Amino acid sequence: MIRIGTRRSALALIQAREVADALRARGAAVDLVPVATEGDRHAAASLALLGGKGLFVREIEEMLLAGRIDVAVHSLKDLPAELPPGLCLAALPARADARDVLVSREGHRLRELAPGAAVGTSSPRRRALVLAARPDLRVEPLRGNVDTRLSKLQSGACDAVILAAAGLQRLGVAPAHAEVLDAEEFIPAVGQGIIAVEARSDDGRTLAALAALDDRLTRACAEAERAFLRRLGASCASPLAAHATVATGSGVLTLRALVASDDGGGVLRGQLEGLASRAEAVGRELADTLLDRGAAELAPLRPVAGGAR
């Protein structure tokens, strides 16, 4: 029996069931173990004040290390750049749509929102990118699951919200007024759209079962994006983005990334290509380029010397 730990949210359970179904299709017996994390228990509070995105994964990882579960399923964008010793990313299934979606109450696109309109998001990245594109807008803090944020939109708490396309698709939610934002301009978060399947590094039986779920191209993209994140020493309060794609056939990986000020007044963008087999090196090199251009003066970063892994 493979015990899979997951958050209790609707989206987290859907993602965990995808992994469970894939394992069952290969003959494994699987049991889901829903866990209420600290991040879920404090859904209205600021993540930065509480301790960052790790609040969504810490208790599940502790259960994994203690042997109370065998696998943990997360959204990769919720995982800190460094995993606890003894844990590894055993599988990264094929990535879903990594882009962001602006959902408005009146059907307006980002460029059409009225001056002073309120856009709801608690993501520093999304805040900075909205203000970089439209400094005349207001960005209001907004946390909660997808249904909660859409309900607040309809109640008039804001004029638009920004959500992940992958989350909407996995939940089967299709808002009436949605604009998919261009990933080259509105660069997605590190790991957005990727399900992370975590296991103990010494659990050979489970690692063998999970190996078939791993997607090679998705892993290369994740490695480049997370290497960029590690090199910068960024926190959940750092407005940054990194999104990699791999050209099928050539194996060339393209990484686009940015670091911004909180108010969107300063945005440093960069792009680098390299072989997918050198994904981590590409991520570190692009981070170094942005650091050389002053990224650490724009955002709260603690660069890791030498790009330590």
Ordered DSSP codes for 97-153: ---EEEEESS---GGGSPTT-EEE---HHHHHHHHHH-TTSEEE---S-HHHHHHHH
- Backbone φ and ψ of 290, nearest 5°: -70, -35
Distance of CA 271 to the CA centre of its chain: 19
> Amino acid identity of 302?
R
The residues annotated as belonging to the active site are: 78
Please name which of 33, 67, 56 lies closest in space to residue 206, comparing C-alpha atoms.
67
Whether the CB-CB separation of 195 and 15 falls below 8 Å is answered with yes
Helix (H) or strand (E) holding 29: none
What residues pair up with 82 in beta bridges, in sequence order?
none
Q: How far is CA 124 from CA 120, 246, 260, in A?
A: 11, 27, 9
What residues pair up with 118 in beta bridges, in sequence order?
138
